[in-house]
Structure 1
Amino acid sequence: MATESITTRSVSDVPWADVRAVFGTRGDPAGCWCQFFKIGSAEFSGSPAQHLEALLCNQVKDQDVPPGVIAYLDGKPVGWCAVEPRSKYPRILRSKVVTGGSQESPEDGTVWAVSCFVVRTGYRRRGVSVELLNAAIAQARRLGARVIEGYPIDTAERKASSADLYHGPLSLFQNAGFEIVSRPLHGRAVVRMVLD
């Protein structure tokens, strides 16, 4: 049996068609395009998927900091991980998980966040999320992050559907070397890795 090859690239270095393939045309990713934490509730809930896709596309083109990384399995685009300075995510900064659990100042631009994972159906449980998180850490480090946070689900404490696991499971972050900072809500943790 041949070994599958997983590679990752910054979203700014891939064809937009590959991003579209990962987000798909149905399900939560196709209706979010990683904009939920970035825009207000009214704009998010009132926006068609095409508008949300355009927002992400513009963020990839217009920002100095790419908003994420894409994973490939044997050359096929199969996954996404959002990673940016935490200040890019107003809803995260206002969330109970962060206000009740982070030790970092909301104004600190050197604090980055891993906010979302997407792995296409049919490609899960094959190590894609592990490689996405490693690539997110590397991109944050390369672009000047001091600390990177995550807000995972503790699946040992709380059952979660695959849709709910977009935050990532706690074990994924712990295996990558993140430390638990707090547990502000049942089944949720704030984790961090110091990069400097």
Structure 2
Amino acid sequence: MDISVEALTPDRWPDIEALLSEGAVTRRCWCTYWRIGPRYRQQEPSANKSDLKRVVAAGPPPGILAYVEDQPVGWCQVGSRELLPYMEHAWRLRSPDNLAVWTISCFYIRKDFRRRGISSHLINAAIDLAKRSGAHAIEAYPIDRSTSPSSSSTGFVTTFERFGFLHIPSPSRERPIMRLYLNGA
């Protein structure tokens, strides 16, 4: 299976629109939660979709898309943590230091492509993008399957461990903070 990964730029809007329209949660959230917090539940899904479209149009790309045979099959929101202001409101995800980091905040993989390595391709591409952008580190906030039955839209600890992400001090055992240092940081 040939998998390619591309940045979500305005010309790829139809691809993210098609992909996120498939999922029950994604078609409501439109990957806006970490930008606007609980307000995403209070406004209509169409408003969340419009918010994401504005973010894509304004740039920089808010994430990356995975493709199989030119079909969008996966999404990863990735970028500078400062572009996701609501992360500082989530006590479980508060960074223990002031290092300017990039963050992998969520994934969506089409149901028929899950458990086929799509998220690993997205993580690898996210790391490369963060390096090229001069980031000192990239963080993720995955689920530890041994302690939480929660949603896996943030990935799993074991997947990030395979890429060399390390556990850093976190206020929550169920929601670890994992970090990969880049560019000699």
TM-score (normalizing by structure 1): 0.86
1:148–1:195 Cα contact (<8 Å) kept: yes
Structure 1, unaligned stretches of length 5 or more?
Answer: none
1:121 alignment partner in structure 2: 111
2:82 to 81, 87, 92: 87
CA contact (8 A) 1:22 1:79 kept: yes
Distance 1:80 1:48, change over 3 A: same
Output the CA distance in 2 between the equivalents of 1:40 and 1:94.
Answer: 8
Equivalent position to 2:135, from 145, 159, 175:
145
Listed as ranges, the matches of 1:97-108 within 5 Å are 97-99=92-94, 102-105=95-98, 108=99
Q: Does 1:20 align with 2:17?
A: yes
Name the structure 2 match of 1:66. 61
What is the TM-score with the length of structure 2 in the denominator? 0.91
**Equivalent of 2:165, from 178, 182, 187?**
178
Which whole-Å CA distance do the structure 2 matches of 1:15 and 1:168 have between them?
24
- Please name the residue that 2:52 is paired with: 56
Please tell me the root mean square deviation across aligned C-alpha atoms, in Å.
1.6
- Contact kept? 2:35, 2:85, Cα under 8 Å: yes
Structure 1 stretches (4+) deviating beyond 4 angstroms?
A: none
Residue by residue, what CA displacement relative to the aligned partner does 1:59-93 show, whole Å, maximum 9, x if unpaired?
11112x21100001232101100011111222211
> How far 1:182 moved relative to its partner?
2.8
Distance between the aligned counterparts of 2:11 and 2:66, measured in 1?
A: 10
Distance 2:56 2:130 in 1: 15
Aligned to 1:11: 8
- Distance in 1 (alpha carbons) for counterparts of 2:72 and 2:11: 10
Structure 2 unmatched runs, 5+: none
What is the number of equivalent residue pairs in this alignment? Answer: 183
